[in-house]
A and B are shown apart, each in its own frame.
Chain A
């Protein structure tokens, strides 16, 4: 991976390819679990297959959204200082979403 741009290109596609089957799985699973009681929800999330798929999906999504939102900021924020601030905010958002989701899955597997 020679440059930053090549790395961006490859990681954006890699995370996209990981997410195609996982997002299809999540949509079907959520439709099936939409009316779960709390106990049923905990049992579902903490089952090994669900937990591992959620962890992979969360990591992939937070990376992919950081790259994507970063591109939008790149395209529309002109001034250099603001551009840097924008990119930092995007990174913080991705980190926050990923950390909360990841911690929740881990916590559920531990309490359930």
Chain B
């Protein structure tokens, strides 16, 4: 009896402090400098980075559609910018970012279904995601340039 009450008292006090803190500020996630980089945890960090990039890229999609809606002049300016070397570079990076996020997102959905959770599945699927994302992106751009030549 006395032992159990001695155990709970400090724990209760600590949790009260934690609750008080939680009421003020939200807890922080460790920053990038904390992690040791491995192929597996890099998929996770890249998932977030590409997610942010895709969210920014959504502006590109909205702007493209808006220029099309505004009129021929705006549309021609948009396609000229996107077709310039810098525009093509941004579009290539955006393609890679979207395809990576989608491929790794499918990996997350597979995990959510309870599959491939073991250490081996984690590692193999990490390399699979890198490979598939890169190959698909290159295929998309080969298709784009082939159509341009035709």
A residues lining the B interface (CB < 8 Å): 13, 16-17, 19-20, 23-24, 27, 31-32, 34-35, 38, 41-42, 45, 54, 61-62, 65, 68-69, 72, 74-80, 83, 93, 97-98, 100-101, 103-105, 107-108, 111
Contact = CB atoms under 8 A, between A and B. Distances in A.
Nearest to B76: A38
Query: Which range holds the interface residue count of chain B?
Result: 35 or more
Contact of B24 (A17, A34, A80, A103): A80
21 contacts: A13-B109, A20-B105, A23-B98, A27-B95, A27-B140, A31-B140, A31-B147, A34-B147, A42-B68, A54-B65, A62-B58, A65-B54, A69-B55, A77-B26, A93-B55, A97-B59, A100-B66, A101-B58, A101-B66, A107-B69, A108-B69
Contacts of B83: 34
B109 to A, nearest CB: 7
B129 to A, nearest CB: 14
Nearest to B28: A78
Interface of B: 24-26, 28-29, 31, 48, 51-52, 54-55, 58-59, 61-63, 65-66, 68-69, 71-72, 75-76, 83, 95, 98-99, 102, 105-106, 108-109, 112, 140, 143-144, 147-148
A13 B106 CA distance: 10
Contacts of B95: 27
Contacts of B48: 72
B66 A104 contact: yes
B26 A104 contact: no
Contacts of A20: 102, 105-106
A72 B144 CA distance: 33
Contacts of A62: 58
B137 to A, nearest CB: 10
Contact of A61 (B58, B68, B69, B108): B58
A79 B28 CA distance: 10
